Amino acid sequence: MRPHRHSKREPEQNWVSERDGYAPRVLSPAVEDLVTQLAKLPGIGRRTAQRLAFHLLSARAEDAVGLARAIEEVKARVRFCRECGNLTEEELCDMCSDMRRDRSVICVVEQPVDVVSLERTHEYRGLYHVLGGALSPLDGVEPSDLRIGGLLARIERGEVEEIVLATNPTMTGEATAAYLADKLRGRVRVTRLASGLPVGGDLEYADEVTLGRALSGRREM
């Protein structure tokens, strides 16, 4: 009869297998929190958030501190222009305070990033009005949630002759444009960016040439 061999005892683990409903802690709490915060950004999934987190960990300390400082600065200093809703560090944004711009035309967009996209075309020299979104009843976004009242107030002053509706060519963007066109009809000339923009896309993803043509070829509504 063979002697009984005692099996070598495995060292104790501080975790239980995934089969039992637990998993080993792979990331430290601090790194896990960073990944979670990064994953909240639009277009950033968990895998991308992990890559960004590991990049920050391997970056120079001054670069990571610089990024954190820039985020704090922008949240503390940047506000919405009291006239048009664009981003600014003053009471009025650069476009609203520039008296060389054509004050008889206002281009209505959904978000501040759309102003950046349209300015890159160098085809537009009027003013802007940022709604802060688009009408979407399913998401609870009603006219009162957008800066429509401010737009009407600007028109009432009598300087504005044309409103260019440059909301995104999406279902919500088209619905917003139709709503505004109906509300403004008879008060001022209302135009819409010409066709050619990708349906269902956002202005920020359109190239400068396409956007420039859409501006110069805008049509009456």
Q: Which of 36, 33, 32, 15 is nearest to 24 (CA)?
A: 15
CATH classification of 97-220 is 3.40.1360.10, yes or no?
Answer: yes
What is the tens place of the pLDDT at every residue in 141-170? 999 999 999 999 999 999 999 999 999 989
CATH classification of 25-77 is 1.10.275.10, yes or no?
Answer: no
Q: Which residue has the tokens 């190239």?
A: 207
What is the tens place of the pLDDT at every residue in 22-71? 556 678 899 999 999 999 999 999 999 999 999 999 999 999 999 999 99
Q: How far is Cα 107 from Cα 31, in angstroms, rounded to an integer?
A: 43
> Which amino acid, 119?
E
Q: What is the pTM of this model?
A: 0.80
- Would you kindly state where each structural domain of the chain is located, as residue ranges? 25-77, 97-220
